[in-house]
Structure 1
Amino acid sequence: MHGRLKVRTTEQQKLLKQKEQQKKLAAYKHVMNQVSLNRKSVPYHVETYSLCAQILQSNPDVYTLWNYRKEVVLQQLQESQKTGEEGENTEDLIKFLENEIKLTESCLLNNPKSYGSWHHRYWILDHHPKPNWNQEFNLCTKYLSLDDRNFHCWDYRRLMLNKIGITLLEEIKFSTERLNVNFSNYSSWHYRSTLRKLDDESIQGELDLVKSAVFTDPADSSAWFYLRWVLSHRNVDHEQRKELLGNLEELLELDPDCKWIIMGKVWLTGSLRMTDEKFLDKRVEYYQDLKKMDSLRAGQYDDYLKISIK
């Protein structure tokens, strides 16, 4: 009827989607053929290089295209070195590299967890005559304030540390701030473990931080894995382990159905039984509790029990 918008049927939508996919596939095949034909061109083939960028912006996980762009960049670097002089050629090279950085930005907007995009960005900056590492580091801080679970950004930030000379204490402070905002963050806990050297001075602070996290949300597994890492260090003494075991007993009263609390008790009794045999019986008891609570992994806990009683 007149004045009504035509609504496409499901079949029409399916056909349109297929046509769009075929169009993208044809463009992808064309670019891959062009790269294959012109990969060794000196100077590089400008049109192929431009088409390559278009494909990467829609799909930044085509490693062949990133590798092709690296080859072109190396070619440009060699050309710049031949002149051996500062000036226009260096400025042209910087402009060329800055365009590569902008391309990675566009790709990361499409897929913030693209391995190829993050790797290419760092590689470009590492070959840049005048890299702005401080700007990159600040950019990481901004990204992580928007999405603190992007482990690619955490890894990228760690690479920046050696470039800008920031102290580990400053970075540990930043890690603490992010965890206080959101304890449920595997990436942040892992990042902290790469920075933190556990010694007599730091161990209690780490135990307090992770204890605060597990008491805030006992069902969240991220902090429990960090706790297990902390407990794997010999600097955690007998009294600290016994105190934490008592804390977990109290927590279990508040949340009796949380298997992670019992897992924490298992980890603690694993080391405590070395000096006090009574903790062996407790460890067996905890595994029996886990079998009831987590029946899908009953066989796994049976295997652990066999090891525990040897």
Structure 2
Amino acid sequence: MHGRPRKALKPEDLAASAAKAEKLRILQSQFLFNHHQKIYTKEALELSGKLLEINPECYTAWNYRKLAVQHSLIEANSDPDSVKSFLDQELQLVENALRQNFKSYGAWHHRKWVLNKGHSSIEKELRLLDKLQNVDPRNFHAWNYRRFVAALLNRSDEDELNYTQDFIDKNISNYSAWHNRSVLLSSLMKKNVQGFSQKDEVLTREYELVREAVFTDEDDQSGWFYHRWLLDQTVKAESPLLDSSWPAHGSDITLSGDRCLDLGSSSPLNNYQFDSGLLPLILYFNQAVEGVNSSTVTFSSGFNMNKDAIWKPLSSNNFKTAQVWVAQLKLPKVELDSLQAYTIEVTVGHSQGIISSSGHYCRPSEFAFTVRVQHLKTKQAEGSGLEKISWGDENFHIYEFDSLESNLVIPLNHPSIQNEHESADSSWQAKIIDEEVNNFRELLDCKIGKLTLARLLTARDALMSLDKSVHSDEVLRLLSELMKLDPPHSRFYKDEHSLVLLKKVTSSRESLLSYCFRYRNLASSTSVNPICLRLNGLSLSRVGSFEKLLWVQMLDLSQNELRSIEGLEAMQLLSHLNLSKNKLGSFTALEPLRHLKSMKVLDLSYNEIGTHTIDSTRYLCSSPLSHSVGGEWDDSEIVTDGVSLANYWEAFLILKGLKLTQLDIAGNAIADEKFTAFLAKVLPALKWLDDVQLN
């Protein structure tokens, strides 16, 4: 462990180890009997104490001690001396256990639990910590416990900061001390303590301090981690902000049905199918927030509209916080005149309630968009509109917009969300990062130096207005070099490379339009051809920049290296998605699809679904064992030919709620006859399955 070579045990050591193991087995057997029978006698407590002194990692024994202490305190009849004596014995037991293993989670937590009873001397704890930390100055358990004790003693953060600095001065590679410093500084800046109220001055001092550590020993990671924390503090917004929305501010949206339309000069980029009578409104924040509801987000419009929209967080977990929120606006189509444009104004955060882990939403925002309704002009023949979507290159042609459309392509622009307050001056941030960039250009001979420079340049671009990617090419080059220099971590660098590449692609309207293609299926009887964003063949291992892609309805991500599609749930308009020829290893990696209720066409062909016996992404997905599945799951339901849901529960939970009309799954290990029959059963709207038209 931690680079320590293992040595073969000598015969006498093996005999001693066997004797210790036998003693431990006997103690555990007796202890478990006492625990199950709820025996809390003096003899039983002594036995559990012996067990913990030999093996402090026995968490069940620590839990038993808590039950025994509670039982004994009740019997003590609130006698202060008896209570204190009993709790002091517990503290001594913990101390003995820590001598056996200084890093025992159970022992440290039990000591906290005893101290919280309020009958023990806290001053003694600091003296004990001083001794233990002199033996092992890096032990993060001790540093964590010290913060707990310091809070009980009301010790000032300044005193603790000085104490921490002494350890850093003794050893600059003490990563636990650096971490403790970050915790204390965060607290001091949050409280606006004198000398720590000016964030720019504090961070400038800290950069100078950690720079000395990094340049002293560039191979030591302690300083690098602290530098990364400083960079995060430099660029992180102090409160949540609205990054983007759909519809975007100033956009002109045409709502249409699912039949043949004549849109005239209207841009297909702004056309949205209005089959359900619901218009999705998407809010994309810069960090996960809660409290988005009809009180904190209000609407006004020129027609009768349901203004009490229900907001839902788009998150793979069951928490009420998310970076992306969506509401479905009910628009009464019968009242709308196709010759008239209706303006909808949205106000975000004028009443308090939206909050994140970093603070309250304190910059109220307003944006407005125009809605038009395109009525049906002709009806399609029976059975038409079911043509198979073909993703071949021959069906896509570069999208060329004319000058008349230039004002309509609003979704490609940076969202012009109007804030009542001026944005904070970021000149000090730019100055700090520019200085760090100049310094770290001298450390390009080491891997961590290249990675830090890439992060600094990315942060510098993020501070620029209008989302310019001035340094993206240099960052991509640095990450490519790191993939070659450090193969064991190449997947991490590849993910970062993919995110930077997508930021570059979406950095301007001109750049993004070069990836937009008009889909033309000559067999189609419709006169409206959707616009497809083609990001295929870019060697992407991760997707991002979703705040710029909320408008996309047709997306091609084929021929990449994706292992997950995390974040794709933000693209609520998505109806056509091509994920073929990637590295998706299971249906649980497709969890975001559950939120994409507009999905009609999905291509998962030639991935690795069913190939891997161990699913490393299963923990990310809801399952029959979790409470999030709800009434969707019935393990007694037989789907087809004796195949139960239990065999394909991942596919069932991901695909069941989608109204897919076309699905391609060929080329995956899971795609046998039973599975395709299963899909045909659970997807009743399916018309095409692996190029075969279903009855």
Bucket of the pairwise TM-score, normalised by the shorter protein: 0.7 to 0.9
- CA separation of 1:109 and 1:264: change in aligned 2, threshold 3 A: same
Q: Does 1:162 align with 2:350?
A: no
Q: State the match for 1:59 in structure 2.
A: 55
Paired letter, 1:308: V
- CA separation of 1:170 and 1:96: change in aligned 2, threshold 3 A: same
TM-score, with normalisation over the residues of structure 2?
A: 0.39
Paired letter, 2:72: Q
- CA separation of 1:299 and 1:165: change in aligned 2, threshold 3 A: closer
For 1:131-150, list aligned pairs within 5 A: 131-150=120-139
Q: Does 1:113 align with 2:78?
A: no
Q: State the match for 1:261 in structure 2.
A: 449
Identify which of 46, 52, 74 aligns with 1:50. Answer: 46
Paired letter, 2:71: Q
For 1:164-179, list aligned pairs within 5 A: 164-179=153-168
Q: How many residues align?
A: 287
Instruction: Work out whether residues 200 and 429 of structure 2, in 8 Å CA contact, stay in contact via their aligned partners in 1.
Output: no
Q: State the match for 2:338 in structure 1.
A: none
Counterpart-to-counterpart distance in 2, 1:79 and 1:213? 56
Secondary structure of 1:202 counterpart: helix
1:16 CA displacement? 5.9
Q: State the match for 1:3 in structure 2.
A: none
Secondary structure of 1:234 counterpart: helix
- CA separation of 1:138 and 1:305: change in aligned 2, threshold 3 A: same
Secondary structure of 1:201 counterpart: helix
Q: State the match for 1:75 in structure 2.
A: 71
Counterpart-to-counterpart distance in 2, 1:307 and 1:170? 42
Paired letter, 1:166: R
Instruction: Work out whether residues 97 and 128 of structure 1, in 8 Å CA contact, stay in contact via their aligned partners in 2.
Output: no
Q: State the match for 1:5 in structure 2.
A: none
Paired letter, 1:196: L
Paired letter, 1:269: L
Q: Deviations over 1:105-130 (max 9, x none)?
A: 1100000011111111121121142x
Instruction: Work out whether residues 203 and 234 of structure 2, in 8 Å CA contact, stay in contact via their aligned partners in 1.
Output: no
- CA separation of 1:91 and 1:206: change in aligned 2, threshold 3 A: same
Higher mean alpha-carbon deviation, 18-27 vs 265-274, is at 18-27
Higher helix share: 1
Q: State the match for 2:208 in structure 1.
A: 208
The runs of at least 4 aligned residues of structure 1 exceeding 4 Å deviation read: 9-17
Instruction: Work out whether residues 178 and 223 of structure 2, in 8 Å CA contact, stay in contact via their aligned partners in 1.
Output: yes
Counterpart-to-counterpart distance in 1, 2:11 and 2:106? 36
Secondary structure of 1:148 counterpart: coil
1:13 CA displacement? 6.3
1:10 CA displacement? 6.4
Q: Deviations over 1:34-79 (max 9, x none)?
A: 3322x2x5xx311111111111110011122212221222123223
Q: Which runs of 5+ in 1 are unaligned?
A: 1-8, 84-88
1:282 CA displacement? 1.9
Paired letter, 2:492: Q
Counterpart-to-counterpart distance in 1, 2:170 and 2:51? 37
- CA separation of 1:238 and 1:144: change in aligned 2, threshold 3 A: same
1:262 CA displacement? 0.6
For 1:174-253, list aligned pairs within 5 A: 174-197=163-186, 199-234=199-234, 237-252=429-444
Counterpart-to-counterpart distance in 2, 1:77 and 1:248? 59
Higher mean alpha-carbon deviation, 11-20 vs 174-183, is at 11-20
Higher strand share: 2
1:220 CA displacement? 1.3
Instruction: Work out whether residues 189 and 222 of structure 1, in 8 Å CA contact, stay in contact via their aligned partners in 2.
Output: yes
Q: Deviations over 1:121-149 (max 9, x none)?
A: 121121142x2212212322332222111
Q: State the match for 2:473 in structure 1.
A: 281
Counterpart-to-counterpart distance in 1, 2:115 and 2:13? 43
Counterpart-to-counterpart distance in 1, 2:55 and 2:45? 15
Q: State the match for 1:303 in structure 2.
A: 495
Counterpart-to-counterpart distance in 2, 1:218 and 1:48? 54
Paired letter, 2:154: G
Q: Deviations over 1:12-35 (max 9, x none)?
A: 764564344223312321222133
Instruction: Work out whether residues 443 and 450 of structure 2, in 8 Å CA contact, stay in contact via their aligned partners in 1.
Output: no
Secondary structure of 1:309 counterpart: helix
Counterpart-to-counterpart distance in 1, 2:451 and 2:116? 44
Q: Deviations over 1:172-208 (max 9, x none)?
A: 1112221121122222222222211252231111111
Paired letter, 1:153: A
Instruction: Work out whether residues 57 and 105 of structure 2, in 8 Å CA contact, stay in contact via their aligned partners in 1.
Output: yes
1:250 CA displacement? 2.2
Paired letter, 1:291: M
Counterpart-to-counterpart distance in 1, 2:129 and 2:21? 34
Higher mean alpha-carbon deviation, 20-29 vs 204-213, is at 20-29
Instruction: Work out whether residues 291 and 297 of structure 1, in 8 Å CA contact, stay in contact via their aligned partners in 2.
Output: yes
Q: State the match for 1:92 in structure 2.
A: 82
Q: Which runs of 5+ in 2 are unaligned?
A: 1-8, 190-198, 236-427, 503-695
- CA separation of 1:302 and 1:75: change in aligned 2, threshold 3 A: closer
Counterpart-to-counterpart distance in 2, 1:64 and 1:296? 38
TM-score, with normalisation over the residues of structure 1?
A: 0.85
